[in-house]
Every structure is written in C-alpha cells, then in structure tokens.
Structure 1
C-alpha cells in the first residue's frame, strides 16, 4: 500500500536580525539573504560598517526556516547553519519563504517613509532565494545584487522578464571563488542579457565570501539620486 502525501499549513516562528532602526529618517533598507549553511546573526555582521557610516541605512537579514548541524553534534555543541530550501518538497518550501519574506518586509516598510529605497542582496543560495521571492514581492527594489550566486534558470521566462524590467542587477564574485568560475559568470551575464538586462559585474580578490570594499561601492551607488 502506497502512502499518500498531504500538506498542512502551520504557524511557526521565523528569525531575523537587523542593524539600525527604521524611522521616517530611513532612506535605504537593505534586505540581505545568507547562503547555504549560514546563520543570519553572523552574516549581517558584514554590513555593520555600512550602517555605522550611514545612519539613514537599515539592514535586515532574515534567516532560512530550516536549521541543521553542520558537523558532528558532540555534546550538543556542533556548529549550526540554516538553509532556504532543498530539493525535497521544494515548491512548498519556496512558498513558505516567499510568505515569510513578504510578511517581514511588510512590517519593515510600514515603519518607513513612502520613498524609502530598498536594495535586495542574495549571497550564494540566497541569490536564487531572493530572485524567486521578488517575483511575488509587494514592492519593487531599486537594485538586485546576486553575490556568488545565480538567477534561477528554472524560473518561467515571462515571469523573470517581468521582474527584471527596469531593475538594475549587479553580479558579484570573488576571483578565487570555487563556485563561480569565469565561464559560469559569463553564462549568467548572457542569460540575463536574453532577459533584457545588462548587469553590472563586480569582481574582487577573494573567494566565496562577502567583501567590505565592494559592499561600500554598492552602497554608494544605491545612494545616488538616479535610484530615488
């Protein structure tokens, strides 16, 4: 006898971290999504230098809904990471994080002024996460940053084209990133060009990580009046 698969929507608690307080003086909000096996508490620390230099900036780092031990959990002290989804029951997991990210940004943006500018950054697995989410988001960002990750190639092309119309996209990768070889980066550029996007490409000396100077560059670009 074959078991039947069912789904039940439940309420659960999601965690996020925030740098800065949202107010009428907030000019920019960055929503930044971590990669596979990371935790938002540590991921958001990379952005502290931006908020320290710009009190009108708020950075929000949601955490993936599924956590797991990254290594042997001896005496309950194993390192823990989070993930946005796996291939198992993937469509339900995508729906869950889309609803979560929409609720979170609704809360954050409700406390800001109507002309606040939102930059969305996804690192590694977070790049595909934010891309899928933004097709169903209730706001339009001023910039999409895909860092050491790709726009999901399985997304329906009309949906992808609608999202990317008029949206500046920045691709970022370290020169020694083992997951983003030059040929993969070039393929991503060509894929986006087919969707009508000419992405900005930023490289830095480093591997699969964030880079402070590159973050400062993106922040300075997002502060320009042409993104107001």
Structure 2
C-alpha cells in the first residue's frame, strides 16, 4: 500500500472577540491547545476582551468530538498536528493562518500591532506559522508550550524573525515538565531571540501576565478635512 497526498479546499472556522474596524488598536491571534474547545479558550481570554483589542481565535483544521460537559452539552476539540507525517499539516496550517491574517488585517487600520499567543500545541503551531516570515507581528507569547516529538523545536525557533518572545508557565500540575518553560527560553536565546519567562497561577490570564499593558498604541490618522 502506497500513501499519497491530494490538495483540496477546506472550510475552516474561527471566532473573534471584539468587532473588527477602524477603532481597533491591537490585534491578537490566539491559537488553542490540543483538544481545547475554542469556547473554553475564549473564557480564559475574557480579560483581554476590551474595546480597542480584536482577538482572533482560529480553530485547528482537524476537528473531533469530545465527551459532553457536565451539563450534557456537546463539545468539539481540534488538533493542529496529526501523529506521523506532519509535513502536510505544516503546509495546511500556514496556508490557513496566512489567509486568515490577510482577511483580518484588511478590516483594521494599517500597521495595527499584532500579537500572537499560542497555548500548548498551539504554541508549536504558532512557531511553525511565524517561521514563514510572512506575518508582520510585534511579539509572540508561548503559554505552557508543548512541541510534539516529531517537531524539531530548535530548528523551528531558528526560523523565527527577531521579535520578542514571552514564555508563560503555570503553577498548575496538569502541565507537563516540558511546559515549565526554562528549556524553551534557553532554546530561544540560543536561536538569537529576546525571551523572558513569566510564572502565573492557573486560571484566566491577566493583562499583566501577558504584558498587554505594554502594547504599542497606533493613533488614528488625523482627519484631513476637520470640521470647523
């Protein structure tokens, strides 16, 4: 039996917190963790949902059913990578996220600063995506990052552009030792990138933990024909 690949169009889903438009001052692309329903990710990001900030939450292309929640409600998870041959997944996620970014950025003021946040496997997906050097982002945040064993983490990090990286680790016992962050920070530094490690408590992320208070503000262009 000989495996083969065939490229076809996929319909992807994404969610947003906050409306796109001329009032947006910050754009965040937030990539969920392995099997993490986007609704649960959105709940963690509720403190980032402010009028001037647009949060885009892409859902990975490989969706699957999860056990119902305590109320019996249907839950759907998704994966960025499938076990085994990951090369097609790398191509698909880059094509998907590049196209989504183009669409979102076209609806917002030019040169609006972009932050990319990745959870768990979403951190690895973010690094693979950004290593393509197409998206002009301002900073990268890797939260409890986990790279699948098939991905060469150091080789991936070397491909990232020179942008600040914040590695966020949690005190929760649920995360693997790899997600503790120290090794990832060391790999980032060896790749020539600026990196810092933050330790936060489990639960919804605060603005301070993600450095949201230090975001660059883009002022709206002055009206060329002001009214008297």
**3-state SS of the aligned residue for 1:171?**
strand
Counterpart selection for 1:212 from 201, 206, 210 = 206
Distance 1:223 1:51, change over 3 A: farther
TM-score, length-normalised on structure 1? Answer: 0.82
Q: Does 2:78 align with 1:82?
A: yes
Aligned equivalents of 1:156 and 1:78: distance in 2? 38
Q: Which deviates more from structure 2 when the two are superposed, residues 132-141 or residues 55-64?
A: 132-141
Q: SS state of the match for residue 212, structure 1?
A: coil
Structure having the larger proportion of residues in helix:
1
| Residues 65/202 of structure 1: CA separation in 2 closer, same or farther (3 Å cut) | same
Partner residue, 1:118 = 114
Partner in structure 1 of residue 224 of structure 2: none
| Aligned-CA RMSD value | 2.7
Counterpart pick for 1:40 among 38, 41, 65 = 38
Tell me, which stretches of 5 or more residues in structure 1 are unaligned? Answer: none
Task: After TM superposition, give the deviation of residue 150 of structure 1 in Å.
Answer: 4.6
Residue of structure 1 in register with 2:158 after alignment: 161
Q: Match for residue 100 of structure 1?
A: 96
TM-score of the superposed pair, with normalisation by structure 2: 0.82
Residue 193 of structure 1: aligned partner:
189
Question: How far, CA to CA, are the matches of 1:131 and 1:83 in structure 2?
Answer: 15
1:115-145 Cα distance to aligned partner (Å, 9 max, x none): 2000000000100000000112522211100
The number of residues matched between the two structures is 214
Instruction: Identify the residue that residue 31 of structure 1 maps to in structure 2.
Output: 29
Counterpart of 2:11? Answer: 13
Q: Distance in 2 between matches of 1:34 and 1:174?
A: 16
User: Could you list the runs of 5+ residues in structure 2 that have no partner in the other structure?
Assistant: 219-228
Whole-Å Cα distance in 1 between the matches of residues 217 and 166 of structure 2? 15
